[in-house]
Amino acid sequence: MTWRPANISSLCSQNPLLAGCTPSAIGFVSFLIQYFAQSNDNYTANGNYTTNEPGEYDFIIVGGGSAGCVVANRLSEIKNWRILLLEAGTQEPLAADTPAFVAIMGKSTIDWGYKTEPQKNSCRSYFDRRCNWPRGKVMGGSSTINALIYIRGHPEDFNNWARLGNTGWSYQDVLPYFKKSENNRNPEIVAANPNYHNTGGYLTVEYLPYVDPNTNIILNAWNEIGFKTIDPNANEHIGVFKIQSTSKDGQRQSTNGAFIRPIINKRRNLVVKTEAYVTKIIIDPITNRAKGVEYILTNSSDRKVKQAFAAKEVIISGGAINSPKLLMLSGIGPKRELNKLGIKIIKNLSVGKNLHDHPSFRGFLININEKSQTLADFEQIKQDSIQYLKTHDNIISGSVIPTNTFIQTIFERIKNSPDIQIMFQGLNITDYKAFVDGSPSSAMLPLPYYSGLNILPVLLRPRSRGFITLNQTNPIWSPPLIYPNYFDASRDLDALIAGIRIIRKLFSTKIFEKNGFKLYEEPMPSCTKYKFDTDDYWKCLITEYTITFYHPVGTCKMGPKKDPNAVVDSNLKVYGIKSLRVVDASIMPIITRGNTNAPTIMIAEKISDSIKKEWLRNYQ
């Protein structure tokens, strides 16, 4: 299937008054399809795909995302092991490799297009009170549609996992696996903190080549109010920093690009099948051993159910939404919920519980002067895009404003531990209402082009917990029901407001005043009844215009056997089922402080080693 962005022509024909429904915006969509829809990958070229496919594999990996691609690479290092990687999505298009097009990936054909169920305390101004939850349906998974930010988390995140009874998951235990993946190409970063960084790994980490003109203004403003410049992946965790990205030479480094492309046509023992939708784990009812999977090739005309068998293990790497869904479809999950659907219970576990995420919100805006603006018309953006295809080194190699800040509010008691992350994103501020409403047409604007800025305070330590369950109408093919329950714990709202009060200090800095950076003080449409900048106003904004930060975790929780909510043990083996593991962000008992892509890759690296040690006596 060829990649397509959101179909704004259809939406605009239904409602021509939508902001951004202009001929130039619609024409830009056609341009993207013409120049960026194809893929450089051709995994069917692997001879094993069609001619030498074995009847049985050693390992079957379900999901070619942030974790699955890593596991496939590491296990296929053992030449006599046969590995099958099944991915429901397509191969990665050029559009996804392009940093500026991050926002365009949402609602495109490589996005699962999930929405939350109607929420009481969040997402209230969106249609049916539901938030969009973009998830990558493509090789590389959500590492193919995220904002490319490389952040590992705080040491106490992992120490806390260990304190909960997860042996081998302390920071000291996991740091070598962060370093194992890393190929850090900014020598000053490595030289400053050589004990925390590495070169030579599969995953390239570096600064994007495009230097946004307002980056230093923001960095210096944080310095002016007392936040020093840090390396968040070393030993300091409160401060401001320039973002390192999972990128290479101006292009995205998804886990597909980093871990699969370099090896796919060299390792004959690895078979990758895209558009392969797994519907069930085959489990022996007598031994409770996972033997294989059932799947359907959705690009095939017959759509017959196929089976693949694993001599050693089945590894589920579908992510925090699809991994619990597949377990429940296979009879592993909450007994009461599966009984409602007539699914035979194999193991009663708390699958789908403990869902949490890093929420943020739209509408905290900055007016900037004309000198600082980068907005261009679509004709200029087309020319820049064509030039990018030749050089990978212009404005199209940029993404979000490449600076983040970690701050600590009064609601976080552990010393030097952030509970709020702040990111800046460009937007067309004259079209802010379409931006706040989430109009697909407004998302066609590549991120480095803007006339104003959106401040995104992100809650790093949410207390609220949600859950995922199967869709009763069509459990297999319909999306699962997602209940994030954002802000059910009122302290989550209080922490974000405390963060906002710290951010507000930026507008009193000399550098903001000198460069004309001013708070946009027109209230957002759903919050006009509140006085601007009061706590009630911010609470309204947060709960009306909630957004995910693309970081759902926890739905197949790792924990000791005595934990009633644990689904997997510290080796990520599913309790009560032999030869079955879950390896992805769903196993996190508590979310890490920062973007979750790097920790997910670490999880995959660590468990790949565990698998090798278990099956190879002499593996070092």
What whole-number distance in Å separates Cα of residue 295 and Cα of residue 280?
7
DSSP state, residue 262: T
Judge contact between 403 and 219, C-beta under 8 A: yes
190 is in an annotated binding site: no
The values of phi and psi at residue 44, to 5°, are: -70, -10
Task: Give the single-character DSSP code of 293.
Answer: E
Residue 260 and residue 73 in contact, taking contact as beta carbons nearer than 8 Å: yes
Q: Do residues 232 and 423 touch, judged by C-beta distance below 8 A?
A: no
d(CA 482, CA 321): 8
DSSP annotation of 218: H
The whole-angstrom separation of Cα 492 and Cα 368 is 30
Q: How many residues does the chain have?
A: 620
- Any known ligand binding at 293? no
For residue 366, give both structure tokens.
């900055």
Euclidean distance between the first and the last CA atom of the chain, given in angstroms as a whole number:
42
| 125 contact partners, CB below 8 Å, separation of at least 6 | 436, 437, 525, 526, 544, 545
- Which ranges of 99-186 would DSSP assign to H, the alpha helix? 102-105, 155-163, 171-181
Assigned token pair, 564: 């009633």
Tally the C-alpha atoms within 13 A of residue 222's C-alpha that lie toward its C-beta: 24
Question: Backbone phi, then psi, for 114, in 5-degree steps?
Answer: -70, 150
Instruction: Please classify residue 514 by burial: count the beta carbons closer than 10 Å to its beta carbon, then call 0-12 exposed, 13-18 middle and 19+ buried.
Output: exposed
Query: Which amino acid belongs to residue 29?
Result: V
Q: Count the alpha carbons within 13 Å of 481 in the hemisphere toward its beta carbon.
A: 11
Task: Identify each DSSP E strand in 354-499 by its residue range.
Answer: 359-361, 365-367, 403-407, 420-427, 452-459, 467-469, 481-483
**Antiparallel, parallel or unpaired: β 83-86 and 56-62:** parallel
From CA 498, how far away is CA 445, in angstroms rounded? Answer: 32
Specify which residues 242 forms β-bridges with.
Answer: 403
Contacts of 43 (CB under 8 A, 6+ apart): 49, 91, 139, 260, 264, 272, 274
Of 154, 356, 358, 551, the catalytic one is: 551
Cα–Cα distances (Å) from 118 to 255, 411, 458, 483, 539, in that order, read 33, 28, 21, 8, 18
The closest of 229, 224, 599 to 406, measured between CA atoms, is 229
- Tokens representing residue 61 in the block: 């990996």
271: three-class secondary structure by DSSP: strand
Work out the number of other CB atoms within 10 angstroms of the CB of residue 130: 17
Residue whose entry in the numeric block shows the structure tokens 């196993």: 587
Tell me the torsion sign for CA atoms 235, 155, 352, 463: negative
Give, in degrees to the nearest 5, the angle at Cα 421 between 425 and 548: 65
**Look-up of token digits 């954002």:** 486
551 is catalytic: yes
Q: Which residues are catalytic?
A: 551
Binding site feature residues for FAD: 138, 278
Binding site feature residues: 138, 278
